[in-house]
Structure 1
Amino acid sequence: MESSAKEDAQPKPRLIVRLGRLLASHHILFSALCCSAGIIALLFLPALAKNTYLSENALIPGSANPLFSTEDVAEANKFIKGIEAAAGESRDGMGMPKFIVQQMKELGAEVCYHEFLPHSKHFHPLKFFTSMTNDLAIHPNGTYTNSGTNTIGIIRAPRGDGKEAIVLVTPYNSQRVKENELLSLALGFSVFSLLSRAEWLSKDIVWLSADSQFGEYTAVSAWLSQYHNPTFVAGVTNGPDGIAEKAETTDFKRAGTMAAALIFKVGETRNYGDRDSVTMYAEASNGQMPNLDLLNVVHYLAVHRQGFRVNIERISSLVTSAWLRVIAEVIQTVGSLLRKINPDWKLDIAAPDYVEGTANLASSIYNQALGVPTGSHGAFRDYQVDAVSLEFSPTFHLRNENAKSSFLVRGGRLIEGVVRSVNNLLEKFHQSFFLYLLTAPSKFISVGVYMIPFALLVVPLPIVAAALADGGKTEGKSMNDHNMKGSADILQVDGGAWKWLQSARVLLVIQIWAVIVSLLPYYISQIADGTPIQSAVIWVVLSIIVLIILYAMLGSPYSAGVEWKLLKATMITSISIGLGLMSIINFATAQLGSLIVIPMCLFSRPVKARLGMNFLPRTVLLASNIFLAIFGFPPVILLVMKGLSKGTWTVDIGDFWVSMEFLWEWSSATYLYIFLVHLPCWLLCIHVLVHPCRQAGSKVKWE
Structure 2
Amino acid sequence: MSLSTRLLTLRKSPILRRLPPYLSAICIAVGVAWLFVLPFNEYSRQTYVSENAILPGQVHTYFGGSEHNIFRAFRQEVYTLSQWDERDRNAALANILRENGLKVAMQPYSYAVAGEDITGTNVYGLLQGPRADATEAMVLMAAWRNFDGEINYSGVALALTLARYFKRWSIWSKDIFVLIPADSTYGPEAWVSAYHSTAADVTSSRNVSALPIKAGALQAAVALDYPVGPWGRRFDKLDILYDGINGALPNLDLLNTAVSVASGQMSIGCSIHGLISHSDSYKDRLTTLARGVITQGSGHATGPHSAFVPYHIDAITLKTVGDGWHDEMSLGRTTESVFRSINNLLEHLHQSFFFYILLNANRFVSIGNYLPAAMLIAGSFTITAMALWFQSGSALAKPATKIGSTDSKLDATEMEVVKLGGDVALVSKKAMETVERQMFLPAVAVLAVHLASFVPLYLLNSMHRQYLPVALETVTATSVILPAYLATILVRSSKASVQQMQLMQSFSLLLLGAALSTLATLNFSLAFVIGILASPLSFIRPLPKLSRKSSMQTADGKLKYALDLATRLPFVLVYSAVSPPVVLYALNWYWEKDIEWTLVEMAKGWAAQGVYTSFVVWSLWWPAWVIGGIAMFSGMLRPEA
TM-score category of the 2 structures, normalised to the smaller one: 0.7 to 0.9
Shift of 1:455: 2.2
Q: In the alignment, residue 167 of structure 1 is paired with which amino acid? A: V
The answer (yes or no) to whether the contact 2:139–2:179 under 8 Å persists in 1 is: yes
Distance 1:17 1:589, change over 3 A: farther
Larger fraction in strand: 2
Check conservation: 1:465, 1:573, Cα contact below 8 A: yes
Q: How does 1:393-404 map to 2 (within 5 A)?
A: 393=321, 395=323
- C-alpha spacing 1:542/1:33, structure 2 compared with 1 (3 Å): closer
Residue of structure 1 in register with 2:206 after alignment: none
TM-score, normalisation: structure 2? 0.77
Classify the secondary structure of the residue corresponding to 1:439: strand
Amino acid at match of 2:525: A
Give 1:689's match in structure 2, choosing from 626, 632, 635: 632
Is 1:370–2:298 an aligned residue pair?
yes
C-alpha spacing 1:315/1:461, structure 2 compared with 1 (3 Å):
farther
Query: Does 1:207 find its partner at 2:143?
Result: no
The equivalent residue for 2:108 is 116
Q: Cα 1:584–1:85, aligned 2, differ >3 Å: closer, same or farther?
A: closer
User: Which amino acid letter does the alignment assign opposite residue 664 of structure 1?
Assistant: W
Q: Specify the alignment match of 1:158 in structure 2.
A: 130
Q: Does 1:189 align with 2:126?
A: no
Cα displacement string for residues 511-532 of structure 1 (whole angstroms, at most 9, x for unaligned residues): 2332344334467x27xx9533
1:297-376 matches, within 5 Å, as 297-313=257-273, 353-376=281-304
**2: CA distance between counterparts of 1:504 and 1:232?**
42
Q: Which of 366, 372, 389 lines up with 1:446 in the alignment?
A: 366
Contact 2:491 2:637 in 1 (8 A): no
CA 1:393–1:688: 2 relative to 1, 3 Å: same
Provide the rounded CA distance (Å) in 2 between the counterparts of 1:440 and 1:165.
Answer: 30
Whether the aligned pair in 2 keeps the contact of 1:521 and 1:539 (CA below 8 Å) is no
SS at match of 2:222: strand
Report the CA distance between 1:115 and its aligned residue.
3.6
Amino acid at match of 2:300: V
Contact 1:586–1:669 (Cα < 8 Å) also in 2: no
Measure, in 2, the Cα distance between the counterparts of 1:419 and 1:464: 52
The AA in structure 2 aligned to 1:153 is: G
Asked if the contact 1:509/1:554 (under 8 Å) is kept, the reply is no
1:131-175 Cα deviation digits (max 9, x unpaired): xxx99xxxxxxxxxx96443322222122212111110111159x
Question: Structure 1's 17 and 357: CA in aligned 2 closer, same or farther, altered over 3 A?
Answer: farther
Aligned residues: 575
Q: Which residue of 2 aligns with 1:42?
A: 35
**How far apart are residue 258 of structure 1 and its match?**
0.8
- Cα RMSD after superposing both structures: 4.2
Task: Give CA-to-partner distance per residue, 1:3-61, whole Å, 9 cap, x none.
Answer: xxxxx6x5636989969978656334433333322221122122233221111111111
Structure 1 segments unaligned to the other structure (5+ residues)? 1-7, 124-133, 136-145, 234-249, 320-349, 397-402, 483-490, 612-617
Aligned to 1:129: none
The structure-2 alpha-carbon separation of the partners of 1:98 and 1:663, relative to structure 1 and needing over 3 Å to count, comes to closer
**Distance (Å, rounded) in 2 between the aligned partners of 1:194 and 1:473:** 74
- Alignment partners' CA distance in 2, 1:353 and 1:547: 46
Can you list the C-alpha shifts for 1:244-265, whole angstroms capped at 9, x where unaligned?
xxxxxx9922222111001112
- Matched residues in 2 for 1:24 and 1:547: separation? 27
> Which residue among 19, 25, 28 is the counterpart of 1:26?
19
User: Who is 2:73 aligned against?
Assistant: 78
Corresponding residue SS for 2:58: coil
Alpha-carbon deviation of 1:412?
A: 0.8
TM value normalised by structure 1? 0.71
Q: Which residue of 1 aligns with 2:523?
A: 586
Distance in 2, matches of 1:670 and 1:603, equals 25
1:649-693 deviation per Cα after TM superposition (whole angstroms, max 9, x unaligned): 88x6x6775565355334322211112221122222223333327
Contact 1:24–1:464 at 8 Å: present in 2 too? no
Residues 24 and 466, structure 1, Cα contact 8 Å, conserved in 2? no
Cα distance in 2 for partners of 1:149, 1:435 equals 34
Q: How does 1:148-547 map to 2 (within 5 A)?
A: 148-173=120-145, 181-210=152-181, 212=182, 215-231=183-199, 252-268=212-228, 276-313=236-273, 353-393=281-321, 395=323, 407-476=327-396, 496-521=435-460, 525=463, 530-540=466-476
Give the stretch that moved more between structures: 550-559 or 661-670: 550-559
Question: Helix, strand or coil: the match of 1:390?
Answer: strand
Task: Indicate if the aligned counterparts of 1:506 and 1:556 stay in contact, CA closer than 8 A.
Answer: no
**Letter of the 2:51 counterpart:** E
Asked if 2 retains the 8 angstrom alpha-carbon contact of 1:24 and 1:467, the reply is: yes
Taking the aligned partners of 1:551 and 1:29, their CA distance within structure 2 comes to: 27
**CA-CA distance at 1:95 after TM superposition:** 4.6
Shift of 1:416: 0.4
C-alpha displacement of 1:85: 5.3
1:382-403 per-residue CA deviation (whole Å, 9 max, x = no partner) reads 322111111113626xxxxxx6
Q: Which amino acid aligns with 1:36?
A: A
SS in 1 for 2:28: helix
- Hey, what does 1:141 align to over in structure 2? none
Which residue of 1 is the match for residue 552 of structure 2?
none
Cα distance in 2, alignment partners of residues 431 and 151 from structure 1 = 33
C-alpha distance 390-106 of structure 1, shift in aligned 2 (>3 A): same
- Check the 8 A contact 1:604/1:625 in 2, yes or no: no
Q: Is the 8 A contact 2:388 2:502 kept in 1?
A: yes
Greater shift, 260-269 or 54-63, is seen at 260-269
Amino acid corresponding to residue 388 of structure 1 in structure 2: I
Counterpart residue type for residue 677 of structure 1: L
- Paired AA for residue 583 in structure 1: A
- Residue of structure 1 in register with 2:414 after alignment: none
The Cα of 1:554 is off from its aligned counterpart by 7.1
Q: Give the match for residue 67 of structure 1.
A: 62
Structure 1 residues 699 and 19: CA distance shift in structure 2, 3 A: closer
